[in-house]
Amino acid sequence: MPPQDLPSRPRRLRRTETIRALVRETTLAPRQLVLPLFLIEGEGNAESVDAMPGCARLSIDLAIHQAEHAIELGVHSFALFPAVAREKKSPDGREGLREDNLLCRAVIAMRRALPEACLITDIALDPYSSLGHDGIVSPDGRVLNDETVELLTHMAQLHAQVGADFVAPSDMMDGRVGAIRRGLDGAGFAETGIISYAAKYASAFYGPFREALDSAPIDAPNVPRHKKTYQMDPANAREALREAALDEAEGADILLVKPGLPCLDIISRLRERTTLPIAAYQVSGEYAMIRSAAELGRLDETAALVESLTALARAGADVIFSYYAMEYAGWYRLEVTK
């Protein structure tokens, strides 16, 4: 058959791997990844997370060891999440404001052992709350906004004091970014950055994370069974733009979208509207789906994780939080040394 008279043949740019690499539009390097770490008390202590095969809660010394390995692979940034013992939890989450709590000790130890690492701390009450909510719950079952913001501001100051590079308010209370920025500046921590969970949806993909930290809302009278009064409705897009604009105006340094793949459209729309860096969180449910499907032989795990992370970067994410950060970095090292 004679060739068709086509003025343009896009397949010419796909003919070989060298050509495909030459014109590749999106490149994601390990330095753009953030590895979340789950922390527990003890020494030499590791507890597997059943809902997240391959992930574990680690004592501070083991977390440092894993971070050292990640740095060798090119991942230099870490988001720290404490798994707090139930006996230390309370309705107002006051453990989160104690100067020698698990998270503060972890930041101090990691800053000493890994001075080049970027340490990001979670600002919310749910790891410390016996009720499992990101804020203070009133006797009549309302999550209180302004009272919660006051506690979160003190928490952010504490994390800055022990050496956090960024505080990351994940609570979705109104006005918390501005309050935290004023609190940090007023306490002499003007250089501590804020990664705002600007668009955090009330997603079904958070389940494994809540199991890892035992942070799901409890079943009790006058305790909301969900977080929909402060986390966003997954059906809304314009609201995400509004939330992000408010956080940017209040002083956020980086805007984060969560979850990741279900929100590619939100990432893309934000990229068109802001000059701030945009972060995306490939959440626990996304990780668990890929891992579980791979274990069943339904897909190639490495190919799936690379494709999913690349999609987040293609949509406009400059920074990606992922439990697959080290696996991706290992794949990337092999690719660049071919």
Catalytically annotated residue among 88, 89, 227, 258 = 258
Instruction: Please classify residue 256 by burial: count the beta carbons closer than 10 Å to its beta carbon, then call 0-12 exposed, 13-18 middle and 19+ buried.
Output: buried
**pLDDT for res 338:** 67
338 has catalytic annotation: no
Cβ proximity of 131 and 139 under 8 Å: no
DSSP letter string, 18-46: HHHHHT------GGGEEEEEEE-SSSS-E
> How high is the pLDDT of residue 142?
96
Contact in structure between 259 and 272 (CB atoms under 8 Å): no
Residue 336 pLDDT:
79
Which DSSP symbol is given to 75?
-
Of 118, 117, 116, 135, the closest CA to residue 126 belongs to 135
Best CA proximity match to 305, nearest among 275, 269, 260: 260
The per-residue pLDDT for 337 is 75
**Per-block average pLDDT, block size 10, for the chain (338 residues)?**
85 93 94 98 96 96 98 98 96 96 98 98 96 96 97 98 98 98 98 98 96 93 95 98 98 98 98 97 97 96 97 98 98 85
Catalytic residue among 88, 200, 228, 338: 200
Fold of 27-336: TIM Barrel (3.20.20)
Q: Which long-range contacts does 154-158 make (Cβ < 8 Å, 24+ apart)?
A: 154/97, 154/183, 155/96, 155/97, 155/123, 156/123, 156/180, 156/183, 156/184, 156/192, 156/194, 157/183, 157/184, 157/187, 157/189, 158/97, 158/99, 158/104
**Known active-site residue 200:** yes
Q: How many CB atoms lie within 10 A of CB 265?
A: 12
